[in-house]
Amino acid sequence: MSWLNQFFTFRERTDSESVKPFLDHMEDLRWMLIKMILWLVASMTVAFFFREDLMRVLQAPLAKVDPELPGQLVTHKIAGSFTLSLTMAFYAGIVVSLPFLLYHLAEFVLPALTRREKKFLLPGIVLGTGLFVCGVLASYHWILPETLAFFFEDAKKMQMKSLWTWSEYASFCSWMTIGFGLLSELPVAVLALALLGIVSFELLSKTRPYGYTLIMVLTAVVAPTPDPVTFLFLCLPVIVLFEICIWLVWLIGRRRAKSGPSLEEFPE
């Protein structure tokens, strides 16, 4: 737990006027979680009233595979339509509330940043939201239809009749789109850890091969496309972003060395 002690020590030694004890940080964490949950609930409630529009969005990738496929999916539960509406509202609420979730997360770590680094807070939220949305849209318009088409055609080759259910399809669709959106957040996560002094350029450069391997594994898990060419096209943008982040961390380290001590220079 030494890294956790270092983290809170770093928060207490910033340029703020007062020093917060550990329990006050825990209280900030509690309120951050409460605010994030409230935003999620509010966004999901609003999304639920647009469930018919969400249903059309959910059907679109199926129609790309086969125009008759949306009418072939079934539900085995009496309240299946209502349950599906709740599922769609849940995932849509995550996408809609993401900027506010990032804001409250940034608000929690704000005392750990210097005055100069706080200027990057708003651009960081915008960048994080943009990367997430791009990842979701790329998965929805490209990865998801190709993956569905592969499994649909593979079932035909095996002379099996596909009887997909709406609940399984909604879970699969949400996992792929939101999962790839979160995977696209890797650059923001790396830069945030660098600003907090938890990772350094030396650490990232030494572990670069492991980072590339982890990206490929996560891509294979989140977006299990059967086409190796498509898989490479999915991995390469994330790997390029990761490499850019490594050199941005190098710049952050240089600026921090000129402006003052880093996290690693504080005693445990």
Residue pair 144/187 in contact by the 8 Å Cβ criterion: no
- Find, among 236, 243, 240, 132, the residue nearest to 182 by Cα: 132
The residues spanned by each domain of the chain are: 2-265
Q: Which of 72, 53, 54 is nearest to 62 (CA)?
A: 72
pTM, full prediction? 0.70
Contacts of 35 (CB under 8 A, 6+ apart): 104
Q: What percentage of residues in the chain have a pLDDT greater than 70?
A: 77
Q: What pLDDT is attached to residue 57?
A: 92
Q: Which residues of the chain have pLDDT under 70?
A: 1-25, 109-118, 120, 196, 222-227, 229-230, 233, 256, 258-268
Signed CA dihedral, 250, 252, 256, 261: sign only: negative
